A and B are shown apart, each in its own frame.
Chain A
Amino acid sequence: MLSLIKIEWLKIKKYPAFWWMLGIVALTYPSINLMFLKVYEDITKGKDTGAIAKMLLGNPYAFPETWHTVAFFSSFFIVLPAILVIMLVTNEYNYRTHRQNIIDGWSRKDFITSKLCDVLIVTSIITLSYAIVAIGYGSYTDSKNFYRWSEQLQYIPLFFLQTFAQLSIAFLLGYLIKKAFIALGVFLFYYLILENIAVSWFKYQVKNDIGKFFPIEASDRLIPVPAFIGNFGQDMKAGYQKALDAVPMHIGLTIAITAIIWIICYRVHSKRDL
């Protein structure tokens, strides 16, 4: 495994798109959170209304809430690393190195494991970026609360799992479709449009929450909306609590879906002509 990671690193470290993605993530994660922080600061600026708003909202960017809030907003941008993951697998087809790697002495299993390593590497980097941004905002907005940094640390593994699960879906599409732009198009269409429509349709038309089993939705629910949403009345509070209670189930579901995705990749690769 370690040797596979080393070889993948040889491929990735001089790949321009990798550094572009990292640069864009380094800009996007702080920016989107800065935007919401500004909204929060605007709302809580006034003397009277501000105090009420502050009471209602708390500070979503203070420790320990920062772990949750930053995870929630940052996860909107899964598309960025998804592009990279799709490129990393479709490049192998494009350059026909998926054949060369086998010719040179990898097993077919090694090849998929190496790609699994790629997705894990990207997920780790994304999670690290998220953690740095969360710590940054936590320290910047309310340094008095810093002593509470170790609360709600579970959002780090949850963010990791969510990112890994969703990038695995992107990988599966890239792996099966082989063409970067088509795979990316299908991923975006599914991620942004199709699943959202399907989930909403089941929820509001069929009155059935079957949408929670859909692959993106299942992992989306690992990180519920930030806690302050639960402060807007009884219904919201109940809804928020329900979402929190469902997290363990979604952890299991996400792991199961992700495992199925990788089993498909291993199975298909062991049999197909390259």
Chain B
Amino acid sequence: MQPVLSIQGISKRYGSIQALNNVSFDVPQGCVFGILGPNGSGKTTMLSIILDILQANSGNYSWFGKPGSPETRKQIGSLLETPNFYHYLSAVDNLNITKAISGRGDAADIDRVLEIVKLTARKKSKFKTYSLGMKQRLAIGAALLGNPEVLVFDEPTNGLDPVGIAEIRELIKQLARAGKTIIMASHLLDEVEKVCTHVAILKKGTLLTAGKVDEVLANEDIVEISAADTDKLKSVLERFSGHSHLKQDGKLFELYFPLGTARMEDLNRHCFEQGVILNQLLLKKKSLETKFFELTND
């Protein structure tokens, strides 16, 4: 299937700073694609280029197999960096402008999206009277206008309270279930872990890795183990075959195995036969956070 977005060799310089360095990846249809990276890693620059706000120094990109153009942008609901609206206009008036420019949605649809982002009660208030969270929600509402097949969200939960964050994450999951393709930049690891199916990790403008979240994250099995007698457990674990290495964190051990090779029953039996009774035995995937720090640390 043709990717929704294909990025080939994009580079961007700001004077002496290399904001993006030969970045390439594809966004498959129907996925929730997270672009993850620390502050200043080039996430917003990347999104700005594919939305024609910035011009790349080299490389190119295509939407739906065609070079980026006003026509392709009209089919994409986007929130880039900050909510950008006319301060003196109400939510409805602002969305009318979005509707007129993009050709997406109608009057009934404006009411629909305002309902989704819970701004119906304030729809006639001027944008400048909104709180930060309300502004962010209006921007998400604008992106949803006309129910586009592709959505681009740059830090979508910025400025929202915990309830708002949970609501937006649920909304993104709902959109994903409805088959929408969502491209989302975030520096919040758990956000990407909770909602994304695919991830690209950027560091100082360089793409470190990209692919399915499962593949990027789970390249090792990690077994968490503890027992009352820590010293004895350590010596017993060291004798267990097949693990790549062992880490100790206080009373807790982490035993690493190549992907898919941790045999939990065998491990349990081995310890029991050696006279160690476990009080914890847990197989876990490598968390995104661990992976992220591993990748982005020098």
Binding site for B on A (CB under 8 A): 3, 6-7, 10-11, 14-16, 91, 95-97, 99-108, 110, 271, 273-274
Contact = CB atoms under 8 A, between A and B. Distances in A.
A96 B83 CA distance: 9
Contacts of B98: 100, 104
B232 interface: no
B51 interface: yes
Contact of A100 (B74, B85, B103): B85
A97 B88 CA distance: 13
B86 A106 contact: no
Nearest to B75: A105
B101 A105 contact: yes
B93 interface: yes
A159 B103 CA distance: 37
Contacts of A103: 51-53, 73, 78, 80
B193 to A, nearest CB: 27
Interface of A is mostly: helix
A104 B102 CA distance: 5
A273 B101 contact: no
Contacts of B280: none
A15 B88 contact: yes
Contacts of B69: 107
B84 interface: yes
Interface in B55-100: 55, 69-71, 73-74, 78, 80, 82, 84-89, 93, 96-98, 100
B54 interface: yes
B70 A6 contact: no
Contact of B100 (A6, A95, A96, A100): A6
30 contacts: A3-B100, A6-B100, A10-B93, A11-B86, A11-B89, A14-B89, A16-B88, A95-B86, A97-B85, A99-B53, A100-B85, A101-B101, A102-B51, A102-B52, A103-B53, A103-B73, A103-B78, A104-B73, A104-B98, A105-B71, A105-B73, A105-B101, A105-B102, A106-B101, A107-B69, A107-B70, A110-B70, A271-B55, A274-B53, A274-B54
Interface of B: 48, 51-55, 69-71, 73-74, 78, 80, 82, 84-89, 93, 96-98, 100-103, 142
B70 A106 contact: yes
Contacts of A274: 53-54
Given A7-B97, A10-B100, A105-B74, A100 B54 contact: no
B84 A95 contact: yes
Nearest to B54: A273
Given A104-B74, A108-B52, A99 B80 contact: yes
A104 B96 CA distance: 12
Q: Which of B78, B82, B86 has the most CB of A within 10 A?
A: B86
Contacts of B84: 95-97, 99-100
Q: Which of A6, A271, A273 has the most CB of B within 10 A?
A: A273
Contacts of A273: 48, 53-55
A99 B139 CA distance: 13
A89 to B, nearest CB: 13
Contacts of A99: 53, 80, 84
A103 B142 CA distance: 11
List of 3 A-B pairs having minimum Cβ-Cβ separation, nearest first: A105-B74, A100-B84, A96-B84
